[in-house]
Structure 1
Amino acid sequence: MIRSLLKWLVIASLVLLGVSLWRMHDLPPATELSSSLLEEPIQTPLKQAVFSVESHGITYQVQPLYQYDLTGLVVSKHDANTWWDYLHREWNDSLNIVDVCVVWGNNVRSGSYADINFSSGQFTCNFSTNSNEAFAAFDQTAISNNHLLTDNPQLAKLIRSVQVGDQIHFRGQLAEYSHHHGFAFKRGTSITRTDTGNGACETVFIENFDILRTGGKPWRGLCWIAGLMLLLSLIAWFMQPVRFND
């Protein structure tokens, strides 16, 4: 009787875990978004000298161009530490820790992002939809892929904790950066929201980063509960005495 109950608990836990993993990155509806996401990014010219930072034994030269302030909804994310990312390793680029693709402004106001599919590559944010209405309503100047730079381990940990569906605010500098670790490497930044294609991403050396509201509710919590249930039920299953039939 107990083994039968544990079997069904294992099955239920697996189902709940699978559904939670599938749904935990659902984007929140526009009614759940902060009004601050309606604001446009703030960009101010800078006159600041090049400065040096070190990350993982590599010294980078960073040239700030503009002060930059953005509040938005994370619709896609790429962590440079993911196993299939080979370009950051080949380029010795450990300063760019995470890319976040965010929407704001008209896309929040219209809610058109809800019918768009978003995905991230190693340096890109892609979006598509089967809805002509959603595509027509989607403002392509109110989305950006942001290459986030930091040499601060605590800040890097916070940024890496961000998930799709979170509402975030960050401040930093739109910047170019380079190194000469084995070869000459340099990456630039977009300085306008109207460009597209190669070079259209914003490269931001982060000063402050905040998660205003977490997304994925209630699925993120249920994912942890399902995982714990699965672990405990499996332990209980294997602790049950084995009965042999004569």
Structure 2
Amino acid sequence: RDALNSGIRGDGPPMARSLVKFLFAGGLLLLTIALWQRHELPAPDRLAPALQQEPAQVQVRETPLLTTVGGVTYRIQPLYSYELHGLVVSLHDTRSWWDYIHRAWNDHLNVVDLCVVWGKNAVSGAYRNIAFSSGQFVCYLEAPSRAAFAAFDQSGLSNNHLLSADPAIVRQLRSVRVGDQIRFRGYLAEYSHNHRGQPFHRGTSTVRHDTGNRACETVYVKDIEIIRRGGGPWHALVWVAWAMLAAGVIGWFSLPLADRH
């Protein structure tokens, strides 16, 4: 009887095994596709008209601001009021585990770096032929051909070091994703500290045609708006895929031992 019962369990419910296999295979396939597609940049005809504008800046005379973040007191000197509408093509969160530079500099004020395009690039769609990536404080671009690189207007791209000590703004900055269309407003600024006798200073670009490591805009953010979310349904489908994989694991361990093959 024991041998007979064991044989019956070994045949197992084929539908349960099939469902587990479907959850594993389907979840893995969906996760692969969703992770790939969630950073797909929208076509030019899906961009808000405001992204065709150039950034607006006006020189200001403001007294320095003092703010403390993470036990470090920073001196922020506004230089220009600044407003930008752009498409986020790459980003870097300074909390990333591999970001050692901001930790070494005691820089807790720089929340994220957002690499964005606007203007002629938003009209032509040349950004769709460029691969963008972000390092700890630099935005990199790579083109598949000289023609693709020549079609891209480098003066219509900026890597923005975004500063804030306001918890609500910090949360919103960290919610931004690649493919989002955004507007932010604040000040082009330089900032510094002398924490524990270790001086630090970072300036800002004030023009759009410079290049290299000093070409980044440093912006003390007063307001940020996500005009349109990017990624379509793919961000949600990443979680659906993880749920399918988790259900597959639970289903696998719920099967009798003899049926796990």
Which TM-score applies when normalising by structure 2?
A: 0.91
1:31 aligns with 2:51: no
Q: Is the 8 A contact 2:88 2:177 kept in 1?
A: yes
**What is the aligned partner in structure 2 of residue 60 from structure 1?**
74
Letter in 1 for 2:126: S
How far did 1:8 drift?
2.5
Gaps of 5+ in 1: none
For 1:223 and 1:100, the matched residues in 2 are separated by 23
1:226 aligns with 2:236: no
**What is the aligned partner in structure 1 of residue 11 from structure 2?**
none
Q: Is the 8 A contact 1:115 1:131 kept in 2?
A: no
- What is the 5 A alignment of 1:166-185? 166-182=180-196, 183-185=198-200
How far did 1:199 drift?
1.1
Between structures 1 and 2, the one with greater helix share:
2
How far did 1:166 drift?
0.5
Match of 1:45 among 56, 59, 62: 59
1:92-143 alpha-carbon deviations (Å, 9 max, x no partner)? 0000010000000000111100000111111101111123222121111100
For 1:35 and 1:133, the matched residues in 2 are separated by 26
How far did 1:223 drift?
1.1
Instruction: Tell me which moved more, 210-219 or 38-47.
Output: 210-219
Which TM-score applies when normalising by structure 1?
A: 0.96
- What is the 5 A alignment of 1:12-31? 12-31=26-45
**What is the aligned partner in structure 1 of residue 214 from structure 2?**
199
**What is the aligned partner in structure 2 of residue 154 from structure 1?**
168
Letter in 1 for 2:145: S
Instruction: Tell me which moved more, 68-77 or 125-134.
Output: 125-134
* Secondary structure, aligned partner of 2:210: coil
Q: Is the 8 A contact 2:23 2:247 kept in 1?
A: no
* Secondary structure, aligned partner of 1:224: helix
Identity of aligned residues (%): 52
Instruction: Tell me which moved more, 221-230 or 84-93.
Output: 221-230
For 1:203 and 1:128, the matched residues in 2 are separated by 23
1:5 aligns with 2:2: no
How far did 1:218 drift?
2.5
Gaps of 5+ in 2: 1-13
For 2:182 and 2:73, the matched residues in 1 are separated by 29
For 1:172 and 1:153, the matched residues in 2 are separated by 16
For 2:56 and 2:201, the matched residues in 1 are separated by 25
* Secondary structure, aligned partner of 1:122: coil
For 1:203 and 1:15, the matched residues in 2 are separated by 40
- What is the 5 A alignment of 1:20-169? 20-169=34-183
1:184-243 alpha-carbon deviations (Å, 9 max, x no partner)? 100000000011112110000000011111111121121111111211222122122333
For 1:153 and 1:214, the matched residues in 2 are separated by 21
How far did 1:53 drift?
0.5
Indicate the structure (1 or 2) with the bigger Cα radius of gyration. Answer: 2
Letter in 2 for 1:144: S
Letter in 2 for 1:184: P
Q: Is the 8 A contact 1:42 1:70 kept in 2?
A: yes
Instruction: Tell me which moved more, 227-236 or 62-71.
Output: 227-236
Q: Tell me how large the CA RMSD over aligned residues is.
A: 1.1
Letter in 2 for 1:150: S
Aligned length: 244
How far did 1:52 drift?
0.1
